[in-house]
Amino acid sequence: MIGNKWTVLLVDDSVDDRLFMRRIIERSDRLLVVGEARDGHEAIDYLMGADTFGDRVQFPYPDILLLDLKMPRKNGFDVLEWIKSEKSNNLLVFVTSGSWLKEDVERSQALGANGYFKKTSDKHAQEEMVSKILQLSEGKF
Amino acid sequence: MAASLESTRPEGPSPVAVRASSAVPAIDVAEKAPSLEHKANILIVDDREDKRLAMETIIADLDQNIFRAASGRDALRLLLKHEFAVILLDVNMPGMDGFETALLIRQRESLENVPIIFISAISDTETHLTRGYSLGAVDYILAPIVPEILRAKVAVFVELFKIADQVKRQAEDLRLAQRELEERVRQRTRELAVANEALQIEIKERQRAEDDLRDLNGQLEQRVAQRTAELRSANSELETFTYSIAHDVRAPFRQIYSYAEMLRDEFASSLPANGQRYLNRIAVKSKEMEGMVDDLLSLFTIAKQSLEFRDIDLGTIVQEVVSSLKGEVENRSIVFKVEPLPTLYCNYGLMKQAFDNLLSNAVKYTRPREHAVIEIGCHDQGGEGIIYVRDNGVGFEMENCKRLFGIFQRLHRPEEFEGTGVGLALVERIIRKHGGRIWAEGKVNEGASFYFTLGKIENDRE
């Protein structure tokens, strides 16, 4: 948390979706995007503080992870599995995906995701997503 | 074979038959042997012709075959050829006398039981009687002959012979009949064996044919199963492929819309009126495309899902859908008439979606009506529950009926009625997924009716 804001790491291979997500998230004054990763591998490096992400001032450890599923190198499921194996209990993970498949939703849940949101351009749905994230963060932190 | 048996079948002698055969000449007797009732042979042995004639005359009344022999030698010769009921044998003959003849006759095994009546002069009675009986004579007649006595005695032996002969022939007939029967049984057994063999062959052939048929059938079933599996796999691949394309296409539309919206939010004021209008069109069109892809994806999601089925009260689903729809159209006058609905074995989510689409459709296409009426109910048709959703909306032309359920098929211009043309296609897929079918009836400006069935309903389930 920085100030009164929960910190968010965006993980998505689409630069456009990272931009939209950043705008959606920052409409809330309780959320702050502190970093972006372009695939699962980079996300894990960020969380580990590996290499260039070692500077926690520049790359603070996030409270919230917004995680795309379909990505090159390591995908969203790989990241979920890694987080699960780390047993770190100080991170909320929300999957943000274009997939409607029930099996993707179920697999994400089984791997410990705290929520699943379909990517949408609908403002109302976006607001619902943000409030759900805030609600779960309130409960956890 | 049957005919020959017929001819040997024993029949009781009848007086008519006896009289009919009485005209046959004595000499033909040997040839007439197979006849049932035939004359007995009587042999008269005497060296004197007058005496032979006298005896013959006496017994002629008996109407039997009479053989005459002038000496013991002649008598023996005849005895070799014929069978006799009785022999009248003169004792006093020159050369071989009656006793010597009798001795020779008795020596023959076949002749040892032939009755012999000795004819002897009274003067010789003493010695002759004793000798004659010791040679197996059955009787004695003393000369001069008393015709009645001779005739009566001969008649007794003829009768005896005939009875014996008849018994013998009946026994023979029986033996023949039995042999015939045995032969017939053998023949029948042979025929049955042949028939049985033929039958066995036929059974084997049929079994082989059946086996062949079963094999072919099995092969066919296997091919059908294989083909079905191939088609199913191809179909599934195609759906997966289409899904992934739809999925990939969706993102750019969403992104275009998002950018259009960002542009509008941040720079609308610096755009001229035309620019703002173009931007709006970009936003609307990309949003429309996103909606279409979303609908398409929901179609494939249904196709791919394996569904959980349970008994669900359709009435409850309809009530839920109706109350949520009422909330959306508070400013309109719509009457929902909900008749009793059955409990069906189905998937809750999908059935709710189907009713939602059908009822939303009805709400949409009754918009021009001041008072809209939407009816939902079920009627039984041959044990099949047919569920209907009927409205008094703008209806459609029946010739377009089939197009209603096609993907992206629209019967109205977008400015009349909004929509992507997926709603009914979705309903059709849902119904099909339940093993049912759906159809529609309508008329322009006179409303539309949608009917569907999920197969057999179990109305009586409590």
According to CATH, the topology of domain A6-140 is: Rossmann fold (3.40.50)
Chosen domain end from B131, B162, B187: B187
Question: Is B262 an interface residue toward A (CB < 8 Å)?
Answer: yes
Domain coverage including residue B58:
2-187
Dihedrals φ, ψ of B143, to 5°? Answer: -85, 150
- Cβ contacts (< 8 Å) between A101 and chain B: which residues? 243, 301, 304
> Nearest CA to CA, how far is A117 from chain B (Å)?
14
For residue A65, pLDDT over 90 is answered with: yes
AA letter at B44: I
Tally of domains in chain B: 2
pLDDT at A131: 93
Half-sphere exposure of B66 (CA within 13 A, CB side): 19
Residues 6+ apart with CB under 8 A from B402: none
Chosen domain end from B141, B171, B187: B187
CATH number at residue B142: 3.40.50.2300
Cα distance between residue B254 and residue B202, in whole Å: 76
Same domain, B183 and B317: no
3-state secondary structure of B440: strand
ipTM reported for the complex, 2 dp: 0.85
Indicate the average pLDDT of chain B: 83
CB-based burial of residue B269 (10 Å sphere; 0-12 exposed, 13-18 middle, 19+ buried)?
A: exposed
- Predicted confidence band at B302 (pLDDT cuts at 50, 70, 90)? confident
Question: Is A121 an interface residue toward B (CB < 8 Å)?
Answer: yes
Half-sphere exposure of A101 (CA within 13 A, CB side): 14
Across A29-43, B284-298, B402-416, the highest mean pLDDT is recorded for A29-43
Same domain, B17 and B159: yes
Same domain, B316 and B449: yes
Count of helix runs (H) and strand runs (E) in chain B: 11, 12
- Predicted confidence band at B420 (pLDDT cuts at 50, 70, 90)? confident
Q: Between residues B290 and B16, which one has the greater pLDDT?
A: B290
Contact, B85 vs B160, CB < 8 A?
yes
> Nearest CA to CA, how far is B294 from chain A (Å)?
9
Question: Is A17 an interface residue toward B (CB < 8 Å)?
Answer: yes
pTM, entire model? 0.51
pLDDT at A9: 94
What confidence tens digit (pLDDT) does each residue in B345-369 have? 888 888 888 999 999 999 999 989 9
Asked if the Cβ–Cβ distance from B254 to A120 is below 8 Å, we say yes
Residues 6+ apart with CB under 8 A from B60: B66
Chosen domain end from B187, B202, B220: B187
Same domain, B177 and B314: no
Residue B289 located in a structural domain: no
pLDDT at B202: 94
> Nearest CA to CA, how far is A113 from chain B (Å)?
22
For residue B265, pLDDT over 80 is answered with: yes
Residue B417 located in a structural domain: yes
Dihedrals φ, ψ of B454, to 5°? Answer: -110, 25
DSSP structure string for B293-359: HHHHHHHHHHHH-----EEEEHHHHHHHHHHHHHHHTTTS-EEEEE----EEEE-HHHHHHHHHHHH
Count of helix runs (H) and strand runs (E) in chain A: 5, 5
pLDDT at B31: 41
Question: Is B301 an interface residue toward A (CB < 8 Å)?
Answer: yes
What residues does each domain of chain A span?
6-140
